[in-house]
Amino acid sequence: MPKIALQALFVALIAAVAAAAGVYLWRAGDGATQTAETRTTGTALIGGPFALVDHTGKARTEKDLLGKFAVVNFGFTNCPDVCPTTLQTISDALEMLGPAAQRIRPVFVSVDPDRDTVVRLKTYRKAFDDRFLMLTGSEAAVARAAKAYKVGYSKMKPAADGGYMVNHTALIYLMAPDGAYITHFPFRIAPEKLAAALKKWVARSS
């Protein structure tokens, strides 16, 4: 079989496996696959221990997410479109929720620790809802957190000026106040739809 045909077959197989697993990767230039809210059956092994630092330099672990619903997203601050769009969507949804938003903790975890320092995250956070917990850490610490949430990411080949992009899973995870995984949403979900879903889960726990 020609080399090009083999490569195409390999890509198709990877895509099929990813789709079956409910994983959507952001890729430079084309965005992630548009889907509706996705639920799983049984208990998903998403979430778990992590040890990172926030936008103030304070050490944070998974225990800091307990007590509230956590809306968790992974990305990087140099992302040109998907990441800022997703964080704005979350910010808008929280605004729509009004007082109910106090029961939700929005979380952003950087997959680009080399550039996303505490100072960088503190500055980036100013563009979004001020309740956001921005997290970063060493490469090993970020890798552990990403593994816990089944998030894939990889640094792309640097451009001539040294800049680079990062491929990464672009889902929005909803975690329960006890740390259990509830569901996830695609990054292109409308703020109104995300707000409605969050309102439903908050109401259920009242």
Q: Would you call 3 helix, strand, or coil by DSSP?
A: helix
DSSP 172: E
Distance separating alpha carbons of residues 167 and 178, to the nearest angstrom: 30
CA 170, 28, 75, 121 torsion-angle sign:
negative
pLDDT of residue 89: 98
Mean pLDDT by 10 residues, the chain (206 residues): 43 38 39 40 79 98 97 97 97 97 98 97 98 98 97 94 94 97 96 98 91
What is the pLDDT at residue 42?
53
Class of domain 24-204: alpha beta
Residue closest to 150 by CA, chosen among 31, 54, 48: 48
Strand partners, 174: 71, 183
